[in-house]
Structure 1
Amino acid sequence: MPSPVLAPRDASGTHVLADLGGIAADLLRDAAALEAILVKAAREAGACVLSAHFHRFGGEHGVTGVVLLAESHITIHTWPEHRFAALDIFMCGKARPHEAVEQIARELRADVRNVRTCERGVGPVG
């Protein structure tokens, strides 16, 4: 049986990688606080939060976390010993990933060290 033919549509989004430094080490170990910050930033950037999962590695180690969005995702990985966090934000549709980066950096009281943006996707087939 042949595959169904789908209507042409855009498959595109903006992928932002941000390196944030100068963050208080205690905050970079606080999985609950990081989850609240990322979920709030996603919503305020116009994204629909589907779920979130954050893991603290214990001791002096950091956190890794993901916020799953209808529009894609936000992830964070932290290194408290370096006062550093790496963000990965991919959003499609009308969501605004750069606003999410700005809000997260503000909430973390971080210096934004490096931001790289990649437009991803393909236009309608036809």
Structure 2
Amino acid sequence: MKSLGKHLIIEFFDCDDKVLSNLEGVENAMNQAAIEAKSTIVNSVFHHFSPYGVSGAVIIAESHITIHTWPEYGYAAVDIFTCGEEVEPYKAYEYLKEKFNSKSVNIKELNRGELDIENLKVKVS
């Protein structure tokens, strides 16, 4: 069976708190991670919370990359959801791990849309 996409659910631990609290730095890192994965950026939006923490999303033609940071705990939660054969989500993961100076990581990979594509009729409205 073939899947339509790959979804990485990543927890970065023991990260640099200054990096995780910097809105511009997090946004730049997330956009560069999308580039490293060979995806096509459509848009990105990020928000800094008071007193700390950043959340944001990079919308890519192949799906999305999202983040929520807790600098006070040195923790970041990242989802990388990609579709297609050309995108390399693990390249984005490796880039972010280095940028956030993460000392420990928990990562899970899910196949999304596991379908018997050869025997499935495409519905078009």
* TM range, smaller chain: 0.7 to 0.9
Give the CA deviation at 1:11: 6.5
Between the aligned partners of 1:29 and 1:123, the Cα distance in structure 2 is: 43
Which of 24, 27, 32 lines up with 1:40 in the alignment?
Answer: 32
* Equivalent position SS for 1:58: coil
* Equivalent position SS for 1:37: helix
- Structure 2: 5+ residue stretches without partners: none
Between the aligned partners of 2:61 and 2:3, the Cα distance in structure 1 is: 13
Preserved CA contact (<8 Å) 2:3 2:111: no
- Report sequence identity in percent: 34
Preserved CA contact (<8 Å) 1:53 1:66: yes
Q: Deviations over 1:37-57 (max 9, x none)?
A: 111111111100000000000
Preserved CA contact (<8 Å) 1:18 1:112: no
Q: Deviations over 1:48-82 (max 9, x none)?
A: 000000000022x2010100000000000000110
Within the alignment, does 1:68 sit opposite 2:64 as a pair?
A: no
Q: Deviations over 1:6-48 (max 9, x none)?
A: xxxx760100011101112121111110111111111111100
Within the alignment, does 1:89 sit opposite 2:74 as a pair?
A: no
Between the aligned partners of 1:37 and 1:27, the Cα distance in structure 2 is: 10
Between the aligned partners of 2:75 and 2:6, the Cα distance in structure 1 is: 23
**Aligned CA-pair RMSD:** 1.4
Between the aligned partners of 2:23 and 2:49, the Cα distance in structure 1 is: 10
Q: Deviating runs (4+, > 3 A) in structure 1? A: none
Q: Deviations over 1:65-116 (max 9, x none)?
A: 1000000000000001100000000001121111111111111111242000
Change in 2 beyond 3 A, CA 1:112/1:73: farther
Counterpart amino acid of 1:43? I
TM-score, reference length from structure 1: 0.86
Between the aligned partners of 2:3 and 2:60, the Cα distance in structure 1 is: 16
In our comparison, the structure showing a higher alpha carbon Rg is: 1
Which of 41, 54, 60 lines up with 1:49 in the alignment?
Answer: 41
Number of equivalenced pairs: 116
